[in-house]
Amino acid sequence: ESGSYGLDGHPDFMRKEMAEQPEAVRRALRGRLDTRFATAHLGGLDLDPVALRSVRRVKFLGCGSAYYAGQIGAGLVESLARIPADAEPASEFRYRNPVVDPDTLYVAVSQSGETLDTLAAVQELRRKGGRVIGAVNVVGSAIARECGSGVFLHAGPEISVASTKAVTTMGVSFAMLALLLGRVRDLSAAAGARVVAGLQALPERIEAALALDDEIAGIASRYASARHMFFLGRVSGWPVAREGAQKLKEVSYVHAEAYQAAELKHGPIALIDKDMPSVVIVPDDDIVVKNVSTMEQIRARGGPVIAVTTVDLPAGVADEVVRVPRGEAVLDPLVLGIPLQLLAYHTAAALGRDIDKPRNLAKSVTVE
Ligand code: G6P
């Protein structure tokens, strides 16, 4: 499958594919941004402005990282298009006899395009007359064919079991979809232009996040002995936390649990002590002070805090601060995921794990 796609001097595919993200994002954006009308063109979508305007709800369906990326997508659609949106694991959707709503746009999210649960969800939707598009990386894959229309991710081949560049290009595709849905509704040209500019600047922001490599390797070595970790975030930071926890579990086998930061005090805070580090995601949004108080509450109970943020935090609020460059704030979830990939990678490396072939996992799950 990989053909001539080799390691090119990288120690493993996860490392190579993380490094390829700026280029993957450029490819995903190529020819799709319209600076004149401050919108996006998604040629594979097959929805004219009338059809786009008739969408009353958007639901993202996928498994694993594709599901978490879908949750980021739902947040982008709600912010930019002001349409109710959510994400659900494709497996749950297919088994719970869902009400299929003709005014909903369903988005099937999959890197491989072969994940059985996602394919079955698409087939169920089509049987019941649902409008479903794909957000798929592999052209000609089963899900891409079954959907018939959608957005190709253009991430390039992904070999590492832990998905990195595919997840990032999922987020980019959903930002463009959200922009397009917004611009046939209430999103102003000026606000649309900010998103277009933010997307154009994204490869450089990702480049800068990747340049934090040494710093994050240092953090990983300091915390690699932890048996458990929390990943905490609010609103747009919450799916980033979920994906960060997933990545750490997949490649390092360290137990990681993601929580909405405000839910911590409703139970899990009982676990906080000096051996339970928390990674707190702090995007550039209206609730930075809430995340700061979460960090204070954790530290007051002796828990180490690693902040991953795009804003300037008050001095001394965290034991470690990973600061990613600021930019268009609505796109922060796409940038804040990068340091978490590096944290998972370096933790796995410090623990001597087989990074490209984690135990018990397959790159795509094509069986029940
Ligand atoms: C498997 C992989 C995950 C991946 C999920 C969805 O469980 O181990 O890393 O996120 O499948 O894969 P897909 O190809 O549908 O995105």
Percent over 70 (pLDDT), the chain: 99
Q: Is 249 a catalytic residue?
A: no
pLDDT score for 363: 84
CA of 63 to the centre of ligand 1 (A): 6
pLDDT score for 359: 83
Q: Cα angle vertex 257, ends 255, 259, to 5°?
A: 170
What is the pLDDT confidence band of residue 366, given thresholds at 50, 70 and 90?
Answer: confident
Q: Is the CB of 361 under 6 A from ligand 1?
A: yes
Average pLDDT, the chain: 96
Instruction: Give the tens place of pLDDT for each residue, 205-240.
Output: 999 999 999 999 999 999 999 999 999 999 999 999
Instruction: Give the tens place of pLDDT for each residue, 98-149.
Output: 999 999 999 999 999 999 999 999 999 999 999 999 999 999 999 999 999 9
CA of 72 to the centre of ligand 1 (A): 16
> What is the pTM assigned to this prediction?
0.96
pLDDT score for 38: 98
In ligand 1, which atom is closest to the CA atom of 118? 15
Query: Model ipTM?
Result: 0.94
Q: Is the CB of 39 under 6 A from ligand 1?
A: no
What is the pLDDT confidence band of residue 351, given thresholds at 50, 70 and 90?
Answer: very high
> If phi over 0 gives left and psi between -120 and 50 gives alpha, with beta otherwise, what is residue 141?
beta
pLDDT at 2 over 70: no
pLDDT at 362 over 90: no
Q: Is the CB of 65 under 6 A from ligand 1?
A: yes
Instruction: Give the tens place of pLDDT for each residue, 152-163.
Output: 999 999 999 999
CA of 166 to the centre of ligand 1 (A): 10
Q: Is the CB of 118 under 6 A from ligand 1?
A: yes
What is the pLDDT confidence band of residue 1, given thresholds at 50, 70 and 90?
Answer: very low
pLDDT score for 4: 62
